[in-house]
A and B are shown apart, each in its own frame.
Chain A
Amino acid sequence: MSTLDARRTGSRLTFRQKLANFDYKASPYLYISPFFLMFAVLGLFPIIYTVNVSLYNWDLLKGQGDFVGLDNYVTTLTDPFFWNAFGNTISIFLLSAVPQLIIATVIAAVLDQAIRASTFWRMSILLPYIAAPVAVAVIFTQIFNQFGGPITGAMEALGLEPIRWGFDPFPSHVAIATMVNWRWTGYNALILLAAMQAIPRDIYESASLDGAGRARRFWSITIPMIRPTMIFVIITSTIGGLQIFTEPKLFDGQSNGGSNRQFQTIVLYLYEMAFPRRDFGRAAATAWILFLIIILVGLINYAISRTIASQDIKRNIRLPKRAAVNANGARR
């Protein structure tokens, strides 16, 4: 007698049947539980514990001190160095995310065409992503070295005033954004390419028959149809871009973001608070403020990217649901 029959007839279930019932209902949760258990231990607990730390005077070495409520948040938000770090982070983020997405989209569009040795090109653009970020940062730091680096050498040879990459804020942001772009453009291009490949070719054919040129097809078909993937790429870029640490840290290993904080990002500010300054409470408060900033900027970006490139076309063509790429994994 099956479980269902048993229920229908109202008879009592045997232990075996109960077990089978339980198995049917609980197994799926059991299968996905390892992730959630790991997340609870390695993700959720530290996040909540950080709230606890942020409410105390907490010396890195001496540990918990007095309860101070929201004082650490107030001190951080009124610290000019925090806002300096905030400005630097936004500046580096814009200098990296915007060109990165534009170039990645263009590269993806090119690779989406029928070109020779397409696998070779696709693999090639991913190569910078494989290189360890530390190695990339070390090499670029040499290239942008204002004292005898190749760029400075070339500018001197041309009789130009050398740029002080390590001293002036804006050039240093450009240098750091270049490292980020070098690493992430290919990766994003590949994800966008996957989305482009999922667009049914017959849509392009009908568009050509209707007389749409290459540019028109790109703007009116490709861009709107990769929108869900574009949103994914923008959100992950936002999270990664606002948490940038390795590149500015290694750009000047002696300091935490430049001798005068020219390229100190929020995470570097957090690091300075936590380690050299040993103020764990304020570091924890900074972590939470950063978390809220990321959510805020992420929401803004989501809102913006929903509106772009989708106005006129979405009424005419039904978007295929499968354009979204199942690409997850941690960035940076």
Chain B
Amino acid sequence: MKFSRRTATVAAIAGTASLALVLTGCQTGGNEPSSDEPITLTITTFGTMGIDVNYEAYQEEHPNVTIEATNLENGGAARDDAYAKIAAGTGLSDVVAIEEGWLSTIREVSDAFVDLRDYGIEDNKSDWLDWKYAQGTDGDGRVFGAGLDIGPQGLCFRGDLFEAAGLPGDREGFAEAIGGEDATWESFFEFGQKYTAATGKAFYHNPSFFWNSFVNQQDEGYYKADGTTLNVKDNKALQGQLDLIVENANIGAGLPGWGVGDQAKADDFAVYTCPSWMLGVVSGYYDAGTTGTGWDFADVLPGGAANWGGAFLGVSESSEHKEAAADLALWLAAPAQQAAAFEAAGPFPSTIEGQELVGDSVNAFFNDAPVGEIFTNRAKGVVAQVKGPEDSVIQDNVFGPVLDQISQGEITDGAAAWDAAMVLFDQLVKQ
């Protein structure tokens, strides 16, 4: 009698060895999906993850499987969708993409997702970066999410506009001009001031991405490393960055963070903070296949390397085809498929082999920038920061409104900005 992985799970839940034997007897053979039984697997993703390019290949390899994919507009929509369905106890698709920003909340209810160890993820544990694998593991050691991409960051910039302004416009020159390896946010904004002074145009579109990047660069972000102690009040580093953003509000375009394609085409701003998955967002502002827009991608981030975002694939416990769904999820998260997604949309592989596969990759939209090599550099030494349960609330509802008011010129004083944020913090976050 074969003791399958699936039945092992059932046994663990039942909790008694004898019951497990009975169940095994009932289930072996009976519930294992035979390879030719036609099944439909549903998957919910968000934004531009690029993994959809792999669906067809999977269906060719598995002729009995039909993939029904839903792609939601952004991570926030995917979060609300997943929360509602977990709360209802039903409705989650077989495979669900989880964003790093709300991963810590999912971890608290990780039993809504299967333990991927039952489906063999441990055999390939060494594929992943250690910290990525650890992020998808809960307190009991259950692996509820298979790491997909990570978000090492560089800067997307408009070389043509910089050159027209008499500033260095090639990717090495631009990186050097803002300080290269030692680039700071101060030196970055100094460069921007020069650009705006020379052209009269805005340098950046919205300060919130700089803020996100800065927070992610800290050893400890909104929470201490334990993931439960808040680290916002009297945080001099955050306060200093808010001051800096207020001082440089004059070179911002006052635009929203997302959906600024028309303004990009109108040269209304010249830089965009680009974690790997953002490449697809920026190129998505233009028609597919467009090149020569002036956008380029530089191997530099003011303030040092940082990770922003990244996704995981979970298999819902309510799935009727857990075995098949887990097979699909683990296949999609395997190095070769991560590499294919990177080529399609830019999210950088979280597996070491996947990163090697894309090492020589260039991106035609970004002036043939060697994005594979650049992200490999940008990912060096990066470890994702520990996030706490209220991280997205602090990001979106505490600092978000304040940054928006700075961007719109409503707040022009650093101390006032900080005070406004602390009022919101006290109202919104249980301390």
Contact = CB atoms under 8 A, between A and B. Distances in A.
Interface of A: 60-62, 79-81, 147-148, 164, 166-167, 253-255, 259-261, 275-278, 280
Interface string B399-425: 011001100100000000000000000
A254 B74 contact: yes
B108 interface: yes
A259 B401 contact: yes
Interface stretch (B75-83, B91-99, B351-359): B75-83
Interface in B85-115: 86-87, 105, 108-109, 112
Interface stretch (B25-33, B253-261, B295-303, B306-314): B253-261
B408 A167 contact: yes
Given A255-B396, A276-B392, A147 B87 contact: no
B260 A253 contact: no
B80 A61 contact: no
Interface in B107-129: 108-109, 112
B260 A147 contact: yes
A-side binding surface: helix, strand, loop or mixed? loop
A60 B108 contact: no
B80 A276 contact: yes
B199 interface: no
B404 A276 contact: no
A253 B73 contact: yes
Contacts of A61: 83, 86-87, 105, 108-109, 112
A278 B405 CA distance: 26
B16 interface: no
B84 interface: yes
A79 B408 contact: no
A81 B260 contact: no
Contacts of A260: 401, 404-405
15 contacts: A61-B83, A61-B108, A61-B109, A61-B112, A79-B427, A148-B262, A166-B256, A255-B400, A259-B404, A260-B404, A275-B80, A275-B83, A275-B84, A276-B80, A276-B393
Given A148-B263, A255-B396, A62 B255 contact: no
A167 B405 CA distance: 9
Contact of B427 (A81, A166, A254, A278): A81
Return the 7 tightest CB-CB contacts between A and B, nearest first: A259-B404, A260-B401, A61-B109, A275-B80, A60-B87, A148-B262, A259-B401
Nearest to A81: B427
B393 A254 contact: no
A254 B87 contact: no
Contacts of B112: 61
A281 to B, nearest CB: 13
A259 B262 contact: no
B401 A261 contact: yes
Contacts of B76: 254, 276
A278 B266 CA distance: 40
Contacts of A62: 108-109
Nearest to B423: A80
